[in-house]
Amino acid sequence: MSMLNAASPRRAWLWTLGGVAILAVFLFPVYWMVSASLQPDVDSVSVSWFPAPADLGSYERAWRTTLPGLRNSIIVSLGTVAVTLFVSVPAAFALSRLDGRIVNVALLAILVAQMVPSITLLNALYAMFSALGILNTYLAMILANSTSAIPLAIIVLRSFMVSLDSEVLEAAVIDGATLWQRITRIVLPLSRNAVITASVFAFIFTWGDLLFGLILTTQSGMQPVVLSVYRLLDQPTIDWSTVMAASFLTSLPAIALLVFSLRYVQAGIGAGAGK
């Protein structure tokens, strides 16, 4: 693309300027969230464009409101990752080794599963969990979130595992390794990037989920953090400083996780895309 798309040096700065304008459009809400969270007791009129002097008072309030939610979300998200991996790793490995009709049918089923709107599933899931007496439990939220995390995890893992060398695996068979040993000692270590990618996706989707939490919890002590932010909007007068501080606290773990795992995720997706 080198010569064809090179902007002439004099006009290049105009392009950079345009780029900065585009960035502004995308970063403004993020800036606004952080900026407003650092100003005490703001509403749309009193808020100023720069948080000077910065005030951490709203973080104190937000921290108190969101702390139980943060704890719940961490438990539910980690639980979902665990269930998702436990179910998806063996299935993805099998689908990467098997061939023929069964693989096509399974992949089609996964595709259809990804299309199903959560609300369609939730009508019956709510009735089912209510009958089982597990509403307002971590288990209910972990199971529900896993149903939407598993299909994607299987696809990510399988597209990587297809490239695993079958010679290595068959060598282990000769050595007398059981299927389970082969998965834990060979397949998992070799698929590290894909496993991390699938885990990060499962964690982040669960972290950001509003609907499962909204429907499956009725006690405020059990609600995930996204839901506690949403509940703050239910008040007759909304304390925007606190809402924005709570929003930022809620975004932080998701952003941090992705930034720290970016290296593995890129490798995981890259390897899958090559197939």
- In angstroms, what is the minimal distance from the CB of 53 to other proteins? 20
> Under a CB-based contact definition with an 8 Å cutoff, are residues 110 and 158 in contact?
no
Nearest in space to 141 (alpha carbons), one of 99, 59, 83: 83
Site string for other proteins, 1-20 (x = CB under 8 A): xx-xxxx----xx-xx-xxx
Length of the chain: 275
Q: What is the dihedral of CA 246, 247, 249, 252, to 10 degrees?
A: 180
Q: Does 136 bind other proteins (CB under 8 A)?
A: no
- Yes or no: say if 153 and 83 are a contact pair by the CB < 8 Å rule: no
Closer by beta carbon to other proteins, 43 or else 60? 43
Q: How far is the CB of 27 from other proteins (least distance, A)?
A: 7
Instruction: Give the CA diameter of the chain.
Output: 74
Residue 31, token pair as written in the block? 């800036």
Residues in Cβ contact with 273 at an 8 Å cutoff, skipping those fewer than 6 apart: 159
Q: How many CB atoms lie within 10 A of CB 218?
A: 10
Q: Which of 53, 117, 133, 236 is close enough to bind other proteins by CB under 8 A?
A: 117
In the complex, least distance from residue 134 CB atom to other proteins, rounded to whole angstroms: 12
- Closer by beta carbon to other proteins, 54 or else 128: 128
Shortest reach from residue 44's CB to other proteins, in Å: 4
Residue with smaller CB distance to other proteins, 167 or 236? 167
Window 208-267: residues binding other proteins (CB under 8 A): 208, 210-211, 214-215, 226, 229-230, 233, 238, 240, 243-244, 247, 250-251, 254-255, 258
Neighbours of 102 (CB within 10 A): 11
Tell me the window of 59-67, 74-82, 108-116, 195-203 that interacts with other proteins (CB under 8 A): 108-116
Q: In this structure, are residues 161 and 188 in contact, taking their beta carbons and an 8 Å threshold?
A: no
Which of 62, 144, 198, 245 binds other proteins (CB under 8 A)? It is: 144
Interacting residues with other proteins between 34 and 93 (CB under 8 A): 36, 44-45, 47, 83, 86-88, 90-91, 93
